[in-house]
Amino acid sequence: MRRNYSKIGRTLCAVLLLFAVALTGCGKEEDVATSGTAGGGSLSRAEYIGMLGDRFGYDTYASEADLFTDVTSANAYYSQIQAAAEWQVIDSGEAFNPDGAATLSFALESAVRAVGTDDIAASGAAIDMGSLADFYVSNIAQIDLSDPEASIDAATAAQVIDYAKNYGFHLEIPQITEMELMEGVKTAQEGIRLNADGATGVLPAGESYSVGDIVYLDATDTSLARAVLITGIEGESFTFEEASLEETYAYLNIQGSFEGTVVEAVSASDGTNVNLGQEIYDEMKAYNMRSEDGDYTLTNLANSAKVDKSGNQIVFTAKFDVQKSASNDRVKASSNGQLVVGVKNIRADVKYESEPFRILSPKVVECRLHFDTEVSSELHGSVAASIPLGEAYIQVWGPLNIKLMLTAHLGADGNISISYTTKNVLTTGWRKGAGLNKSFDSTPSVNFEADATLTAEATLLADLRIGFKKASYSLTNAQVTSGAVAVGKMEADLLGDQPTCLDLQLYVPLRWGVNQEGCLITDINKNWKHSAVIWDSGSSPVKLHMHLEDWERTSGDVCTRTDPIEQELTTPEGEPLEEINPFDFEPLEFDFIELVSYAMYLDEGESMDIGFESIPEGYSQSDLKYEVQDSAVCSVSNGKVSGNAPGSTVVKISTSDGMFTVSLAVTVNEDYSVEGFEEL
Ligand SMILES: [Zn+2]
């Protein structure tokens, strides 16, 4: 019988998959299986340090000279051995003996040193530098140490290293916070207020301040730390400019584990239309969308996003609606969906120490960011878009903060619901005398329901910054793109003697880059940056293949056709799919309206300018549109807000074309000015 063509088109075929990937165990007191013959032959010292350096990210060195007489650049593990010496994972000396056997005691000792003996001691564990192998056995994982000189194989080495790494992730480092202010810098007393115009403020009663004073204000729940230079005083009002880091600090030493508190969050678009998808859509169509889609053009992509922050987490929600019309006017179609991206359980282990009186000359910059990414999305129809979600500031301590920027990449053809979670630990660091240390560890789990092709990825840029507002600098930054890609191929036999086949392949890709954006570390050495694909369709720990015939999954996912479908993860030109991935390290362009403060407090009858931090390129402040939710509370004219009556409302600020929007919360207080009070 003849098969019905409509069945091929958009029949919803619900395929439910549920799976999770568990990494090797965690926690302490694990048993390391002793060598035996499992992993093949024994490792040389150079090979072991090569493995250790790769896992811990010690593979970039600073020294131009060979650090050992018997390890030259001809050695396959030269980078890791040089870096390990600089990071004191191994002792520097005359000779390293690279070809000697890696003994158990050497392996355990250098694994403990790779974690960082200072950090271990700081965490409160009793550690004796003379017996690090014993420390490993009693604190990290159990291993038979009766023959410390036994050589180890690759399988044992991998376990030794994994457990050490995991132990390091769980270390809580106590906080050391030393902040030496420059002479004359004052710490703000309670009651001082900086207005949302970024230029004026109100002094607390009874405190004496003078023009020229620099005032440091610690972070609050809704604002990062600030330092301002008082430029004028009139009664209780004053004018200010942002103070620079060098004017404010003589010395900074900030170390420890901090819970990341999200203090500011900005959504990239708020009920705004963004027409961003066409180029990526075309590219995706070229290799993994059905040919019938060639008739369609993407005419509109509406995206609205909202942001929720609380404590150490932030969640962005975007809804979009894509209208398509066929060029031959025969078919009209649309797609829509919702995307939720959350970054949760944020914790930062940081170290920043400056040279005395040279605040931007660091001795050490290290950041280990722990965070979970949760993405869930439901898509219907064909869509491909890069959706900027927004940014958030996470207060660490004093002038140290982390800026997170998030964007989502979506491409789908069909009906898809996906959710995935990744638990991540991102490490990047530099110390005087050593190179760049970097590593990224991620544990994914995915739920997936689809009858089609999909790409759903989130890119996160984490930027460790120091300073105040405009006068702030990136110390180190890293960009991570993770998500899920499902490639579906459907083939129908219209003559009717073969089943309709749907072949699906799913994998979780992961790419990252360190210091791709310029920062203090790349200012010191422009080579201290890095980018790589961690997982692709071949190496991903989550990989899945499904085969459906007439909408039923076949046994063993085998195709029963006499001439089966070849499912290739390649482009029509035969290139590997990853290599043309349009989302590969796209620079994150979050060019949106940023305000000095997203909350403004006014007295009744008072007027205040809105303080703009930045406006997207190609737009000017004078062209912005203002929309007041409750005009009884305030009104806005030319960027100046006037308080009409006590209450709270929201001012929506947009570019004239509606591409960029931001919201300012306005609270008008009753006029508290006391009668009889006279300004001096
Ligand atoms: Zn088949």
In this structure, what CATH number is given to the domain that contains residue 635?
A: 2.60.40.1080
Question: To which residue do tokens 């190179």 refer?
Answer: 435
- Using CA atoms, how far apart are residues 337 and 38, in angstroms rounded to an integer? 49
Considering only residues 207 and 69, tell me which one the structure prediction assigns the higher pLDDT. 69
How far is Cα of residue 422 from the mean position of the Cα atoms in its chain? 12
Dist. CA 557 → ligand 1 center (Å): 8
Yes or no: say if 17 and 449 are a contact pair by the CB < 8 Å rule. yes
**CA distances, 448 to each of 15, 196, 379, 502 (Å):** 8, 45, 12, 16
- Using CA atoms, how far apart are residues 404 and 247, in angstroms rounded to an integer? 27
- Same domain? For 384 and 453 the reply is yes
Question: To which residue do tokens 């809105």 refer?
Answer: 610
Nearest to 412 by CA among 340, 488, 342, 301: 488
Give tens-digit pLDDT for 531-553: 888 887 778 877 777 787 876 77
- Using CA atoms, how far apart are residues 367 and 141, in angstroms rounded to an integer? 26
CB atoms within 10 A of CB 162: 20
Burial (CB count within 10 angstroms: exposed 0-12, middle 13-18, buried 19+), residue 620: exposed
**Token pair for residue 294?**
């060639």
Dist. CA 226 → ligand 1 center (Å): 63
Dist. CA 560 → ligand 1 center (Å): 5
Dist. CA 503 → ligand 1 center (Å): 7
89 located within any domain? yes
**Token pair for residue 97?**
């003996």
Range 419-425 average pLDDT: 87
Range 200-206 average pLDDT: 85
**Token pair for residue 393?**
């500031």
109 located within any domain? yes
pLDDT-above-70 percentage for the chain: 75
Dist. CA 19 → ligand 1 center (Å): 23
pLDDT-above-90 percentage for the chain: 38
Choose one of 550, 580, 610: the last residue of a domain.
Answer: 580
Statement: residue 20 has pLDDT above 50: no
| Predicted structure pTM score | 0.77
Nearest to 159 by CA among 291, 254, 51: 51
- Same domain? For 360 and 283 the reply is yes
**At a CB cut-off of 8 Å and minimum separation 6, what does 329 contact?**
none
- Same domain? For 309 and 198 the reply is no
**At a CB cut-off of 8 Å and minimum separation 6, what does 206 contact?**
none
Range 525-533 average pLDDT: 87
pLDDT band at 509 (very low <50, low <70, confident <90, very high): confident
pLDDT attached to residue 530: 86
Domain of residue 368: give its range.
259-580
Yes or no: say if 111 and 159 are a contact pair by the CB < 8 Å rule. no
Choose one of 142, 169, 196: the last residue of a domain.
Answer: 169
- Same domain? For 489 and 411 the reply is yes
- Same domain? For 148 and 193 the reply is no
DSSP string, 114-162: HH-HHHHHHTT----GGGHHHHIIIIIEE---S-TT-B-BHHHHHHHHH
Give tens-digit pLDDT for 100-152: 999 999 999 999 999 999 999 999 999 999 999 999 999 999 999 999 999 99
- Using CA atoms, how far apart are residues 471 and 366, in angstroms rounded to an integer? 21
- Same domain? For 77 and 126 the reply is yes
Choose one of 138, 154, 169: the last residue of a domain.
Answer: 169
- The full length of the chain comes to 680
Dist. CA 327 → ligand 1 center (Å): 32
- Same domain? For 77 and 157 the reply is yes
pLDDT attached to residue 595: 84
Dist. CA 413 → ligand 1 center (Å): 20
- Using CA atoms, how far apart are residues 543 and 566, in angstroms rounded to an integer? 17
Nearest to 452 by CA among 418, 484, 415: 415
pLDDT attached to residue 32: 59
Dist. CA 3 → ligand 1 center (Å): 15
14 located within any domain? no
The number of C-alpha atoms within 13 Å of 27 and in the hemisphere containing its C-beta is 4
Dist. CA 416 → ligand 1 center (Å): 21
Dist. CA 485 → ligand 1 center (Å): 21
438 located within any domain? yes
State which amino acid sits at residue 11: T
pLDDT attached to residue 285: 38
Dist. CA 549 → ligand 1 center (Å): 6
**CA distances, 656 to each of 224, 608, 622 (Å):** 30, 22, 10
- Same domain? For 103 and 188 the reply is no
- Same domain? For 163 and 201 the reply is no
The number of C-alpha atoms within 13 Å of 422 and in the hemisphere containing its C-beta is 25
25 located within any domain? no
CB atoms within 10 A of CB 563: 9
**Token pair for residue 14?**
């619900």
Dihedral pair phi/psi, residue 625, rounded to 5°: -105, 145
Burial 303-327 (b: 16+ CB within 10 A, else e): bbbbbebeebbbbbbbebbbbbbee
Cα torsion 595, 600, 604, 606 to 10°: value is -40
* DSSP H or E segment with residue 279: helix 278-288
- Same domain? For 190 and 155 the reply is no
Dist. CA 334 → ligand 1 center (Å): 29
Dist. CA 15 → ligand 1 center (Å): 16
675 located within any domain? no
CB atoms within 10 A of CB 210: 9
Give tens-digit pLDDT for 157-187: 999 999 999 999 999 999 999 999 999 899 8
- Same domain? For 434 and 469 the reply is yes
Dihedral pair phi/psi, residue 47, rounded to 5°: -65, -40
- Same domain? For 197 and 290 the reply is no
**Token pair for residue 423?**
């638990």
Average pLDDT, the chain: 78
Considering only residues 89 and 3, tell me which one the structure prediction assigns the higher pLDDT. 89
Dist. CA 496 → ligand 1 center (Å): 13
12 located within any domain? no
- Using CA atoms, how far apart are residues 405 and 586, in angstroms rounded to an integer? 13
Q: How many domains is the chain partitioned into structurally?
A: 4
680 located within any domain? no
